[in-house]
Structure 1
Amino acid sequence: MRLHDLKPTKGARHRRKRVGCGESSGHGKTSGRGNKGQKARSGGAIRPGFEGGQMPLYRRLPKKGFSNAMFKNVTAVVNLSDLNERFEDGAVVNEESLRQAGLVKGTYDVVKVLGAGEVTRKLTVEVSSISASAKEKIEKAGGTVTLKA
């Protein structure tokens, strides 16, 4: 037996139901949707959990539990390749200068520099967090790294 000999078991595969293909097809006229009503219309679907206007179960039950989501630290990520493109030799790279350069937008708790790409310029980097590879590459190019709390 080879791959080209494999076939599904007899009766395992069914033809696709061809609805709306004439009265004699058995699925003509209303195409198996019955007569009138919301479910007979196009786009007429009842969302999951809807109970016909009755207060749904998920709203009848009390809220339980606790989530730490509001306490998580949101990190803004900047790659070395971006720093190399946007900053001149001897520039100071901190959160404020990153925002001015358009590399950090929105609200973040931490700004982290990652080591993707190469850096050829001498930069003074002052950020909250930095990867080991990024620190190594910056110092190799003659720059300095200071972590601020």
Structure 2
Amino acid sequence: MKLNEIKDREGATHSKKRLGRGIGSGSGKTGGRGVKGQKSRSGVAINGFEGGQMPIYRRLPKRGFVNIFSKDFAEVSLGRLQAAVDAKKLDAKKTVTAETLKEAGVIRRVKDGVRVLSDGELKAKLTLEVAGASKAAIEKIEKAGGSITVASGAKNAE
């Protein structure tokens, strides 16, 4: 067998139904959609409709609370920072900010700022300017000989 001889088995492919092509085709006029009404039209999706019965999202009670003022930080571990320095994606001599982390590919998007967490080990002397950091992360950075500036207004406790 050669590559140009490969084809599907007999009966494996079906030609598509040509809808609305006259009464003699068997699927003309309404095109297999029944008659009239919302569902016979195109672009209709009746999500959550249960035939007039009270929908489940209305039968069940609401729970909890969503804080509209909560901040969503991009989290970076110390191990990830060290890996980026080792791979020469981050320059240890320059100040590390959210923008430099994004350019280096350490984080995907900045969100409400970057928060440093203490997972992993840090050997490089880094100067960081971030929105937040855990206490353990701050200790590890200073122990490695680096410094960290946490933006005002952000919590730096874990």
Q: TM-score, normalised by structure 2?
A: 0.51
Structure 1, unaligned runs of 5 or more:
1-47
2:145 paired residue number: 142
1:10 paired residue number: none
- The Cα of 1:68 is off from its aligned counterpart by 4.1
- The Cα of 1:72 is off from its aligned counterpart by 2.1
Alpha carbons of structure 1 residues 59 and 74: separation in structure 2 relative to 1, 3 Å: closer
1:76 paired residue number: 74
1:100 aligns with 2:98: no
Identity of aligned residues (%): 39
Superimposed CA distance per residue, residues 60-102 of structure 1 (whole angstroms, 9 cap, x where no aligned partner) = 99xx9xx644432111100001111113432321101111111
Aligned residues: 99
Matches within 5 A, 1:45-84: 50-52=49-51, 54=52, 56-57=54-55, 68-84=66-82
- The Cα of 1:134 is off from its aligned counterpart by 1.0
SS in 2 for 1:71: coil
SS in 1 for 2:100: helix
Superimposed CA distance per residue, residues 116-146 of structure 1 (whole angstroms, 9 cap, x where no aligned partner) = 0011111001101011111111111111111
Structure 2, unaligned runs of 5 or more:
1-46, 85-89, 153-158
Alignment partners' CA distance in 2, 1:57 and 1:83: 48
1:22 paired residue number: none
Q: TM-score, normalised by structure 1?
A: 0.54
Alpha carbons of structure 1 residues 78 and 50: separation in structure 2 relative to 1, 3 Å: same
Aligned CA-pair RMSD: 3.0
SS in 1 for 2:137: helix
1:118 aligns with 2:121: yes
Task: Name segments (4+ residues, structure 1) moved above 4 Å.
Answer: 55-61
Alignment partners' CA distance in 2, 1:144 and 1:49: 53
